[in-house]
Chain A
């Protein structure tokens, strides 16, 4: 079945460091790919998405490119801030009329000043 594997955390970085969180997927067909972010005490918010191969999603300085050849959707940011501390979830959207999401287990990021 469909699945998502993302790098284990926690990840601890200093402010202005470069961030990469790896995400790979297994799916039949051509899923949509998403990154969600969960700040402490809150629900999930959509960070960015890509709906087809070679699409690049971007938002708030974060980027991820849908790589079909490597079945990957790695999240990157050039310079992280303390306010980026959160849990990040990679997800794929299964195909069909009521598209379900399959989530990775989440990666907790802590950014220190």
Chain B
């Protein structure tokens, strides 16, 4: 079974802090994705990476950056956290030859 793990289930940070969210997958997938999930808005794509060191902006990249130095790891970075970044963050990975994405358990981030 594919396993996607995220570094924290719950995280509380202060406004202005730099925040790192880590995601690791164990199936040698080429593609990895970061979403945020908010009530009434569903899932929105922040960034994705189709291979190591490759990245593309999703629908809501403002205030975020990403890093993919190794195939199995995809990091989401909040350079200066703000309260409107309080959300559930979901990571996913995908084999480039198959359609479905596999999701991690999510990190619920609260910025105070």
Contact = CB atoms under 8 A, between A and B. Distances in A.
Interface of A: 32, 34, 36, 42-46, 49, 51, 89, 93, 97-101, 103-106
B106 A105 contact: no
B50 interface: yes
Given A98-B48, A104-B42, A44 B90 contact: yes
A106 B42 contact: yes
Given A97-B50, A100-B45, A42 B100 contact: no
B21 to A, nearest CB: 13
Contacts of A46: 100-102
Contacts of B56: 98
B103 interface: yes
B93 to A, nearest CB: 11
B41 interface: yes
18 contacts: A34-B100, A43-B90, A43-B103, A43-B104, A43-B105, A43-B106, A44-B90, A44-B103, A51-B99, A93-B99, A98-B94, A100-B33, A100-B45, A101-B43, A101-B101, A103-B43, A105-B40, A105-B42
A89 B37 CA distance: 12
Interface in B22-59: 30-31, 33, 40-43, 45, 48, 50, 56, 58
B96 interface: yes
B41 A100 contact: no
Shortest beta-carbon contacts, A-B, top 4: A98-B50, A105-B42, A43-B103, A44-B103
| Residue among B30, B50, B58, B100 with max Cβ neighbours from chain A (10 Å) | B100
Nearest to A104: B42
